[in-house]
Amino acid sequence: MAIATDAAGTQGQADYIDAPQLQLFVMGLFFIFGGITSLNDVIIPKLKELFTLNYTQAMLVQFCFFTAYAVIGIPGARLIKRIGYMRGAVAGLVTMMAGCLLFIPASQTATYALFLLALFVLASGVVIVQVVANPLISLLGKPETVHSRLTFAQAFNSVGTTVFPYFGSILILGSLATVTADQLSGVELDAYRTAESQAIVHGYLGIAAALAVVAGAVWLFRNALKGEKHEESSGLAGLDLLKRKRFGFGALCIFLYVGAEVSIGSLIVNYLMQSHVMGLQEQAAGKLIGLYWGGAMVGRFVGSAVLRVISPGKVLAAVAVGAIVLLAFSTHTTGTTSGYSLLAIGLMNAIMFPTIFTLACEKLGPRAADGSGIINVAIFGGAVIPLLTGMIADATGSLALAFILPAACYAVIASFGWYARKPA
């Protein structure tokens, strides 16, 4: 493996790892953690019904899942710097397995808090894997194609987010129960919750088995990146990077983007079930989640080509404005027009994360692991924004009004795109 340098022989923007054979492996990691994250959109309506939750309480699923990014992001980066990318990936996959297995006691005790704990542990593993994947795909090729390469890798993330919710909806939301939790109490309610949550357990046990196989395969290649370089943090856990205006603004936009994307995805099922929108049953609405994430998949494959010829900052600003327009259109119309306008926002989301990430992290060089750790902390927006969106929905009694918050997030992202339209 070779480490490329610029003409002056210095490490910097021109550094890259010449190991193209590993790109497929990293794309596989994107597929895995993307699919697992998107299953939250299926679990939320299920747990909302089982535990008779309001929107704020249901959004604790996303809060606990994405809080792991705030807690584990920087320690995860330090772990990667200590043991390397490949061993770090194994550590993340094993942690994800542990989270999946925690769904067993959560179901047997019919305890909502245990489901939230299982999701936090699962997400902790996802964070570690993501700390590996984002900087690694950036380094596995020439710097001038980094925007396109990361967007292409994110497309595999979207393949996972498209496939997992569809089959998850069939498995988890496909119950034929003739009663609901709000009709039961006491022992009968506990028994109902235990029985109905078995579908969740079976799904995650299957995922745990698959993760075990992947972790074993990755372990066989644990020494594949000999010579990888990491620079020690010059500030507390690398937070000194936030002093760079471009990086700090980008980290904020990651916080807002993930929050907006997760807020919309989490409420799709309930939004489409409304009589004035599409009036769908729970499982039918759940299957349409795949269109939201599928739009992101298509957009990322297309975007990886577009970003080679058009300024990434300008593309980012344009799609952020497009998301605002679609949100406004969805909330001011009814029927299928309203529903599909909301689902189409997935297409606008397509290039946002990879483009914000690469624009923010330009010229970090050997500080890439630090930058990735901080960016992963910023993904904590997926905990905060959805919870606030749920609170607005409960306070106003309107999901349409609650979408004002994601729209405001997209407005800030548009301004960052315009700010970062020129190279750093």
Q: What's the CATH code of the domain at 35?
A: 1.20.1250.20
Residue 334 confidence (pLDDT): 95
Contacts of 395 (CB under 8 A, 6+ apart): none
Q: What is the mean pLDDT of residues 166-185?
A: 72
Question: What percent of the chain is modeled with pLDDT above 70?
Answer: 88
pLDDT at 177 over 90: no
In a domain, 4, yes or no: no
pLDDT in tens, 179-226: 677 776 778 888 888 888 888 888 899 999 999 999 998 888 888 776
Instruction: Read off the tokens for 244.
Output: 């760079």
Count of domains forming the chain? 1
Residue 369 confidence (pLDDT): 66
pLDDT in tens, 87-143: 999 999 999 999 999 999 998 888 899 999 999 999 999 999 988 887 777 777 777
What's the mean per-residue pLDDT of the chain?
A: 85
Q: Check if the beta carbon of residue 394 is closer than 8 Å to that of residue 153.
A: no
DSSP 276-309: TTT---HHHHHHTHHHHHHHHHHHHHHHHHHTTT
Residue 226 confidence (pLDDT): 67
pTM of the model: 0.79
Contacts of 267 (CB under 8 A, 6+ apart): 55, 389, 393, 399, 402
pLDDT in tens, 29-48: 889 988 999 899 889 988 88
The angle formed by the CA atoms of residues 306, 308 and 312, to the nearest 5 degrees, is 75
Q: Please tell me the distance from the alpha carbon of residue 406 to that of residue 414, in angstroms, as a whole number.
A: 13
Q: 20: exposed, middle or buried (C-beta count within 10 Å: 0-12, 13-18, 19+)?
A: exposed
pLDDT in tens, 38-94: 899 889 988 888 888 999 999 999 999 999 988 988 888 888 888 888 899 999 999
In a domain, 9, yes or no: no
CA distances from 212 to 23, 159, 218 (A): 21, 21, 10
Contacts of 376 (CB under 8 A, 6+ apart): 69, 72, 73, 76, 77, 127, 130, 131, 134
In a domain, 351, yes or no: yes
Contacts of 201 (CB under 8 A, 6+ apart): 103, 104, 107
Residue 341 confidence (pLDDT): 97
What single-letter amino acid sits at 423? Answer: P
Contacts of 175 (CB under 8 A, 6+ apart): 196, 199
In a domain, 52, yes or no: yes
Q: Please tell me the distance from the alpha carbon of residue 63 to that of residue 387, in angstroms, as a whole number.
A: 7
Q: Determine the length of the chain.
A: 424
Q: Please tell me the distance from the alpha carbon of residue 104 to that of residue 100, in angstroms, as a whole number.
A: 8
Ramachandran quadrant class, 84 (left: phi over 0; alpha: psi -120 to 50; beta: rest): left
In a domain, 5, yes or no: no
According to DSSP, the residues that pair with 17 across neighbouring strands are 3
**What angle separates helix 404-419 from helix 312-331, to the nearest 10 degrees?**
160
In a domain, 124, yes or no: yes
CA distances from 422 to 23, 310, 362 (A): 27, 11, 11
Q: What is the mean pLDDT of residues 236-255?
A: 84
187 C-beta neighbours (distance < 10 Å), count: 8
In a domain, 276, yes or no: yes
In a domain, 3, yes or no: no
Structural domain of 342: 16-228+235-419
